[in-house]
Amino acid sequence: MQRLKIQGNQKLTGTVRISGAKNSAVALIPAALLTSDKTTLCNIPNILDIDYLEKTLNYLGAKVNRASGSMVIDASNLKNLEIPEELSSKLRASYYFMAVLLARYKQVKMHFPGGCKIGSRPIDQTLKAFKSLGATVNEENDIYTIEADKLIGSEIKLDMPSVGATINAILVAVLAEGTTIIKNAAKEPEISDLVSMLKKMGAKITGDGTEEITIYGVKELTGCNHDIIPDRIETGTYTIIGALLGNYLKIDNIVPEHIKSLTDALESMGSDLEIHDDYLIINSSKLNAISLETSGYPGFPTDLQQPFVSLLTQAKGKSTMTETIYENRFMNIPYLNKMGASIHTENKTATILGPTKLTGKEVVATDLRAGASLLIAGLVANGETIITEINHLLRGYEEIVEKLTNIGAKIEIEEI
Ligand code: EPU
């Protein structure tokens, strides 16, 4: 078991280079199974989620050549169309394999996917998409058997703009006969990254980044080379750290538009921030309270909600944060309060009174972004913070200890 030890309250200076986006990579890797050609993906983050996907690719029979930051996938000969529970339970994105195997082989068997326990996270919208293209879905004891004689394009109206259902609908429709229209689609940049890769492979898709995506099915796809976009949530996490502790901290390799909701919020709170084409510079400054709520892109991302609440403990006045996407994404808050924060939650809203001094304590990373929230609190706090269950954190942030050490943080992983 590993735990993270942080000596807080150090000023941070230098450059952090942002890695490839986790939530793009986890969709683009399964997408490589849509062709029997070789696909090369670059800018792959070195995180636990990718290790799990690599294991799944191996299990299915794909040949994988992973080097630093890249992955070559050769899916010419797949031998399994079933994903065992020990692999599917590791991460939510394992259900993208459902869509690609269904699209290419017209059958797949898989357990309910895993992922952070931040809400109920049903998969009904994905199943609705599969069914509307002609697949049958049988569920017994959480095992889904999905089959189709033919997949035929149709109109899919999602009940909510789900990122995963939009991705699964695109993945299954690219090789279907005829045209599929996804209405009420999610607009997240990771979806546009997937569409850009699929277009290189020969797919015909329009409308990504809007509420209506149209996919004109093609008979086959070819291999391609694709660079994954920078991770906007990692960008946001380090930007938040910079707003609290930065001393001319440079966050490099970013797409500023992808984190506009965050930088707009920081600027209105009084943060000292300079935004350039593909980097930003940030200094710590006195911050004022703000009220925000999470929503789908381009709104304030739920994945930055927990890290941002840590920042709000240092802002002057009464802030509120309303979580509209997940029912259970406040599990960091009892630990922030243990460290000295003054946060009260009622239903979907957390009310934060600040600024409060934080003191290092032993805390638990209950999920990925809760881990990021506690890491930020630990960096700000006086004294030593110990974070346990950091496997959640390591699932999503590449070389987090190295990146923070390079800019002056006192942080280490301990084996216990
Ligand atoms: N929902 C349903 N039915 C569905 C699908 C979703 O009710 O069939 C609900 C969910 O329960 C949730 C909401 O719709 O309340 C949004 O869920 P969505 O499907 O958009 O989320 P996801 O695809 O499961 C991805 C990211 C999450 C991120 C969300 C929202 C990946 C692998 N995961 O999840 O990332 O929070 O979109 O932006 O891309 C993270 O990185 O920490 C993380 C949890």
Q: What is the pLDDT of residue 416?
A: 86
Number of Cβ within a 10 Å radius of residue 342: 14
Pocket test for ligand 1, best of 121, 235, 262 (most atoms within 8 A of CB): 121
List the one residue out of 243, 316, 300 whose CA is nearest residue 275: 243
Number of Cβ within a 10 Å radius of residue 28: 28
What integer is the mean pLDDT of 207-230? 98
Q: Extract the tokens encoding 104.
A: 């290419």
AA letter at 229: I
Structural domain for 10, as ranges: 2-19+230-415
Residue 119, pLDDT > 90, answer no
Q: pLDDT-based confidence at 399, cuts 50/70/90?
A: very high
Residue nearest atom 24 in ligand 1 by C-alpha distance = 164
What integer is the mean pLDDT of 103-124? 91
Q: Which of 171, 195, 227 is the last residue of a domain?
A: 227
List the one residue out of 371, 302, 361, 366 whose CA is nearest residue 337: 361
What are the pLDDT digits (tens) for 286-302? Answer: 999 999 999 999 999 99
CATH of the domain at 360: 3.65.10.10
Q: Which of 201, 227, 253 is the last residue of a domain?
A: 227
What integer is the mean pLDDT of 83-100? 92
Residue nearest atom 9 in ligand 1 by C-alpha distance = 121
Distance from Cα 160 to the centre of ligand 1, integer Å: 10
What integer is the mean pLDDT of 237-263? 98
Distance from Cα 121 to the centre of ligand 1, integer Å: 7
Residues 266 and 295 in one domain: yes
Percent of the chain at pLDDT exceeding 90: 95
Q: Which of 204, 227, 250 is the last residue of a domain?
A: 227
Residues 98 and 200 in one domain: yes
Residues 142 and 243 in one domain: no
List the one residue out of 355, 404, 399 whose CA is nearest residue 379: 404
What is the C-alpha separation between 95 and 87, in angstroms, rounded? Answer: 10
List the one residue out of 199, 107, 93 whose CA is nearest residue 151: 107
Q: What is the pTM of this model?
A: 0.97
Annotated catalytic residue, options 27, 48, 62, 116: 116
For the CA of 91, the nearest atom of ligand 1 = 32
Residues 147 and 281 in one domain: no
What integer is the mean pLDDT of 185-199? 98
Residues 127 and 268 in one domain: no
Q: pLDDT-based confidence at 120, cuts 50/70/90?
A: confident
Residues 13 and 45 in one domain: no
What integer is the mean pLDDT of 215-231? 98
Residues 274 and 400 in one domain: yes
Q: What is the pLDDT of residue 148?
A: 97
Residues 153 and 205 in one domain: yes
**Environment class of residue 2 by beta-carbon count within 10 Å: exposed (0-12), middle (13-18) or buried (19+)?**
middle
Q: What is the pLDDT of residue 41?
A: 98
Residue 226, pLDDT > 90, answer yes
Residues 33 and 133 in one domain: yes
Q: Extract the tokens encoding 89.
A: 């339970």
Residues 314 and 371 in one domain: yes
CB 129 within 8 A of CB 95: no
Q: What is the pLDDT of residue 132?
A: 97
Pocket test for ligand 1, best of 94, 163, 373 (most atoms within 8 A of CB): 163
What integer is the mean pLDDT of 56-71? 96
Residues 399 and 375 in one domain: yes
In sequence order, the β-bridge partners of residue 74 are 38, 63
Residue nearest atom 35 in ligand 1 by C-alpha distance = 303
What are the pLDDT digits (tens) for 230-244? Answer: 999 999 999 999 999
Residue nearest atom 6 in ligand 1 by C-alpha distance = 162
Please count the structural domains in the chain. 2
What integer is the mean pLDDT of 175-190? 98
Provide residues with CB under 6 Å of ligand 1. 23, 26, 92-93, 116, 119-126, 160, 162-165, 186, 302-303, 325-326, 368-369, 396
116 is catalytic: yes
Residue nearest atom 11 in ligand 1 by C-alpha distance = 121
What are the pLDDT digits (tens) for 300-328? Answer: 999 999 999 999 999 999 999 999 999 99
Q: What is the pLDDT of residue 116?
A: 84
List the one residue out of 339, 352, 351, 337 whose CA is nearest residue 384: 339
Residues 393 and 409 in one domain: yes
